[in-house]
Amino acid sequence: MLLTIALFLGSAAAIYFACEYFVNSVEWFGKRLNLGATAVGTVLAAFGTALPESAVTFTAVAFGQTAQQKDIGVGAAMGGPLVLATVAYGVVGLALWLNKRKLRRADHGVDVDGAGLARDQLSFLAIFVVKVALGLFAFTIKPWLGLLFLAAYALYVWREINSGESSAEEDDLEPLKIRPGNPSLAWAGLQAGLALGVIAFASHLFVGQLEAIGHFAGLSPHIVALLLSPVATELPEIMNAIIWVRQGKERLALANISGAMMIQATIPSALGLFFTPWRFDGTLLVSGLITGLAIIVLWSVFRLNKAKVDSRWLAAIGLLYGLFVAWMVFAPQALRTFQF
């Protein structure tokens, strides 16, 4: 058990330091491609850091030999958006709150593109409602609907890249860690690729140790899939958010989370539809309802606050994850496992 804990802590540290290299390289990558800061966060950074969760879902649903293993994949596909919509946004708010003095902020305001983030919440909610609704019904053409989720993500990427936002000023960028000066696109890509490799390996190790700890604590695979595994596999996005917030770049942090949520709403859903019956039980439905509630709250906050959001509002949204934990702990077994 001591070795498991050591690997758990070591892999978490590796993810954090690799994310520092990744966010540094992806900003330069976006600069060389003349992409705006929002597109860098929503597309480049989000796609890279969403790989661990997507890999967990794909492995479970495509190569799982038992119904229980496939259920873990479906749980991961639902758990990812839940963690991002609650814990990740809450971490951004908490990080701004704690770093207020370091960043020399006069108030608790978080610099945001309220209109863009509100639009993203609505886009996510529209897709997510369909995703949850499909889990309540069985019909023959359901697997083919996975193609619509892939098309929705492709449309989202096209919209973000063509948003017309100007790229960030080079003075705002820290030097590329492996090639200071004026690095080329190739050097930025090399650093991003190396960092992603470390993130993928460390995330896989982290999830393995987390599952071992869950087994030692007597937790069922279902609970691990919905409670523990998503927190682990969304750790890169959360780490990225902390790093960018500490640098005073909360717009990038929020864009990264927003982009990752669109990936989790579409790609894992498509994989689940392709390879599983995609049927929900009571616990999966409740996770979807709490995620939807968090998105509605976020949409309201961003819509009413176009330029700045109180960091304490974002921190409070993280508490919604506690509702799901309470459901898992206190709800009767019959309700948690009721099959729709």
Mean pLDDT rounded to a whole number for the chain: 82
Place of tokens 């890999």: 55
Percent of the residues in the chain that have a pLDDT greater than 70, as a whole number: 88
Q: Give yes or no for a contact between 254 and 93, defined as CB atoms under 8 angstroms apart.
A: no
Q: Whole-model pTM? A: 0.80
Q: Is 36 helix (H, G, I), strand (E, B) or coil?
A: strand
Q: Give yes or no for a contact between 259 and 46, defined as CB atoms under 8 angstroms apart.
A: yes
**Mean pLDDT of the region 292-314:** 89
Q: Is 70 helix (H, G, I), strand (E, B) or coil?
A: helix
Q: Give yes or no for a contact between 225 and 76, defined as CB atoms under 8 angstroms apart.
A: yes
Q: Residue 93: is its pLDDT beyond 80?
A: yes
* 22-36, 156-170, 175-189: range with highest mean pLDDT: 175-189
Within 10 angstroms of residue 100's Cβ, the number of other Cβ atoms is: 15
Can you tell me the distance from the alpha carbon of 41 to that of 208, in angstroms, rounded to the nearest whole number? 28
The 10s digit of each residue's pLDDT in 245-288 is 888 888 888 888 888 898 889 999 999 999 999 989 888 999 99
The 10s digit of each residue's pLDDT in 102-148 is 777 767 777 777 888 898 899 999 999 999 999 999 888 999 999 99
| pLDDT at site 219 | 67
Q: Give yes or no for a contact between 108 and 311, defined as CB atoms under 8 angstroms apart.
A: yes
Kindly report which listed range (135-149, 161-175, 304-318) carries the lowest average pLDDT score. Answer: 161-175
Q: Give yes or no for a contact between 226 and 283, defined as CB atoms under 8 angstroms apart.
A: yes
The dihedral through the CA atoms of 322, 122, 230, 59 has a sign that is: positive
